[in-house]
Amino acid sequence: MQSETTFDLWQPYYDAHVIACDEAGEYPFAGYRALQDQIFEIVHAREGASVLDLGCGTGRMAARLSRAGHPVTGLDFSRAMLSEAAVNAPDARFVPGRLAMPLPEELAGETYDCILAAYSIHHLTDEEKWALLRALRAHLAPEGVIVLGDVSFPTRAGLENCREAYGDKWDDEEYYLVRDELEAALPEYDVDCIPISFCADVYILSPAE
């Protein structure tokens, strides 16, 4: 996982960088705004749903959901990112902490209608991702869901094709979602996938009956 210092230094340029990449239709952020819109629609369909935003960054999603009437708690390990998030979403609650279990003490025992991870879970290895997602089930309210939006590919072959196409631009320190591997690793969830772009998907994870 990249360091807090890396993200603190990136904070002034983060939003402009991802928007430019999205507009160019390039890896890794092709579909970024469409992905954010899709996540918002999923959450906002649940009136007043409480939200935990894991890896909330500069708080753009937290701000949008908060303005729409959702109580939002954001978690991020970059204090520079959280400082900007607090300005962007003054009605949301922000807690410093890493994207890992256990959650910070301030969140112990809390449950949420929607737990989000947008362009953040790729910083965890696959084993760390699966462990986190299994453990997050205990933080879901009844009928709650986990919503993941990130760089993602249907198969490992699709990921390798993208890696080859982008060569030196590919980030070997990130661990992207692969749809069939996620479904196989997490039988305790029903998984619904919404394709966004050639390198992005939104997943809805609902606890299986």
Tally Cβ neighbours within 10 Å of residue 139.
Answer: 18
CA end-to-end distance (rounded Å), the chain: 33
Q: Which two tokens stand for residue 188?
A: 């305790």
pTM assigned to the model: 0.92
Taken as a whole, the chain contains a residue count of 209
The total number of structural domains in the chain stands at 1
Task: Please give the DSSP secondary-structure letter assigned to residue 103.
Answer: P
Residue 2 — very low, low, confident or very high, per pLDDT cuts 50/70/90? very low
Which positions ≥6 away from 14 have C-beta within 8 Å? 7, 57, 58, 81
Boundaries of domain holding 54: 4-207
pLDDT tens digits along 153-206: 999 999 999 999 999 999 999 999 999 999 999 999 999 999 999 999 999 999
Q: Answer with the residue of higher pLDDT: 101 or 134.
A: 134
Closest by CA position to 109, among listed 65, 139, 145, 69: 139
CA 39-34-175 angle, to 5 degrees, is 75
Task: Retrieve residue 92's tokens.
Answer: 């949301």
What DSSP string describes 182-200?
Answer: HHHH-TTEEEEEEEEETTE
> At 77, which CATH number?
3.40.50.150
